[in-house]
């Protein structure tokens, strides 16, 4: 490093770079969405804990997804909201790196959880007689723990590679949070290794899992079409379609963000994509599951009836 290079202690998050009046509107708009994210996922989590009929592997994994969505949104949105109403839009370097680590870990955890949920539906529909044996509580616990451990280890790999770099500026991040690609731009050294590891990791946790999910649902679709009962077929379609909606929303936006050529999207478009999978998607997940899942709606109805007595 040259003598004119200094280590940075804090960075400026440029955010959306709009008029102050619009910033106030965005603050209220995003605060509403964040509140709905916490409320929706909290309701799903509460219903699963309180209703014994939902104590099944499917809802066990759905409860983990709700925890991930709450954590995922909370890793970036509170700081974004604070910056929208504050003049000083800075974040210290250590919290910035911590934010990068947390959002990476929870993003990977969501990918892994969606794969496990697809496998659970595959076993339930394609091997119903062996379902309770294959998806025992021991197996479910191991699958859930594997998702969390793998996610945090992969995020730790990225952060370890980031911390080996010297950071001397520029001191500004053209984003609303410390997104990993934006953090790379703060380094004053070669980042090719970081970019390669990020690309390989993105393929590993996006393309690979998406392929497994699509393969599972191809087998599931074939099995559903063989179901003789119209009611059973409708119930299977309802459960699986809600999961596929979540899969499509999350994987679609993430793949466009991390695997599409850089030149195909402006920085503002990348901010919108990041906003979609870090705020809108966690908010939509409980809405999708509650509207398209009769068991969740039934659990909510029973809970409200008990409260009204």
pLDDT per residue as tens digits for the range 122-139: 998 889 899 999 999 999
Above 80 in pLDDT, residue 309? no
Is 145 part of a structural domain of the chain?
Answer: yes
Instruction: Give the pLDDT of residue 27.
Output: 93
Number of domains in the chain: 1
Interatomic CA distance for residues 246 and 249, integer angstroms: 5
Q: What pTM did the predictor assign?
A: 0.88
* Of the candidate ranges 114-118, 171-175, 274-278, 290-294, the one whose mean pLDDT is the lowest: 290-294
Instruction: Give the pLDDT of residue 64.
Output: 94
Mean pLDDT of 211-225: 85
CATH code: domain of residue 192: 1.20.1070.10
In Å, how far are 3, 66, 241 from 115, measured between CA atoms? 49, 15, 15
Is 223 part of a structural domain of the chain?
Answer: yes
User: What is the pLDDT of the chain when averaged over all its residues?
Assistant: 86
Mean pLDDT of 33-43: 93
The tally of CA atoms less than 13 A away on the side-chain side of residue 112 is 23
Is 4 part of a structural domain of the chain?
Answer: no
Give the pair of three-digit tokens for residue 110. Answer: 């969501």
Is 168 part of a structural domain of the chain?
Answer: yes
Of 1-5, 116-120, 269-273, 290-294, where does the model show the most confidence? 116-120
Give which of 65, 38, 51 is closest to 144, Cα–Cα. Answer: 65
* Of the candidate ranges 22-36, 40-54, 179-193, 240-254, the one whose mean pLDDT is the lowest: 240-254
Is 3 part of a structural domain of the chain?
Answer: no
Classify strands 10-13 and 90-92 as parallel, antiparallel or unpaired.
antiparallel
Is 297 part of a structural domain of the chain?
Answer: yes
Reduce the secondary structure of the chain to three states and give it as a string. CCCCCCCCCEEEECCCCCCHHHHHHHHHHHHHHHHHHHHHHHHHHHHHHHCHHHCCHHHHHHHHHHHHHHHHHHCCHHHHHHHHHCCCCEEEHHHHHHHHHHHHHHHHHHHHHHHHHHHHHHHHHHCHHHHHHHCCHHHHHHHHHHHHHHHHHHHHHHHHHHHCCCECCCCEECCCCCCHHHHHCCECCCCHHHHHHHHHHHHHHHHHHHHHHHHHHHHHHHHHHCCCCHHHHHHHHHHHHHHHHHHHHHHHHHHHHHHCCHHHCCHHHHHHHHHHHHHHHHHHHHHHHHHHCHHHHHHHHHHHHHHHC
Interatomic CA distance for residues 6 and 4, integer angstroms: 7
Is 135 part of a structural domain of the chain?
Answer: yes
Structural domain span for residue 87: 11-308
Interatomic CA distance for residues 282 and 285, integer angstroms: 5
Above 60 in pLDDT, residue 3? no
Give the pair of three-digit tokens for residue 200. Answer: 């390989």
Above 90 in pLDDT, residue 75? yes
């Amino acid at each position: 490093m040259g003598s004119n290079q200094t280590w940075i202690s804090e960075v400026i998050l440029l955010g959306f770079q709009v008029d102050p009046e619009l910033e106030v509107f965005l603050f209220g708009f995003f605060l509403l969405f964040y509140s709905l994210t916490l409320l929706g996922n909290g309701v799903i989590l509460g219903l699963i804990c309180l209703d014994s009929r939902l104590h099944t592997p499917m809802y066990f994994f759905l409860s983990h997804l709700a925890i991930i969505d709450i954590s995922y949104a909370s890793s970036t949105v509170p700081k974004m909201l604070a910056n929208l109403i504050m003049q000083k839009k800075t974040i210290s370097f250590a919290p910035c790196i911590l934010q990068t680590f947390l959002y990476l870990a929870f993003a990977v955890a969501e990918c892994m959880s969606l794969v496990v949920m697809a496998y659970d539906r595959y076993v339930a529909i394609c091997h119903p007689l062996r379902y309770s044996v294959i998806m025992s509580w021991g197996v479910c616990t191991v699958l859930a723990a594997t998702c969390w451990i793998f996610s945090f280890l992969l995020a730790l790999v990225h952060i370890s590679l980031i911390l080996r770099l010297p950071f001397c500026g520029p001191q500004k991040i053209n984003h609303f949070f410390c997104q990993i690609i934006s953090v790379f731009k703060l380094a004053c050294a070669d980042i090719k290794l970081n970019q390669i590891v990020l690309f390989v990791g993105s393929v590993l946790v996006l393309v690979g899992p998406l392929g497994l999910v699509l393969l599972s649902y191809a087998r599931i679709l074939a099995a559903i079409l063989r179901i003789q009962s119209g009611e059973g077929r409708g119930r299977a379609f309802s459960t699986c379609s809600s999961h596929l909606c979540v899969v499509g929303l999350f994987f679609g936006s993430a793949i466009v963000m991390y695997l599409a050529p850089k030149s195909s999207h402006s920085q503002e478009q990348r901010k919108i994509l990041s906003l979609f999978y870090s705020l809108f998607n966690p908010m939509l997940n409980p809405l999708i599951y509650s509207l398209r899942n009769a068991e969740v709606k039934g659990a909510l109805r029973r809970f409200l009836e008990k409260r009204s007595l």
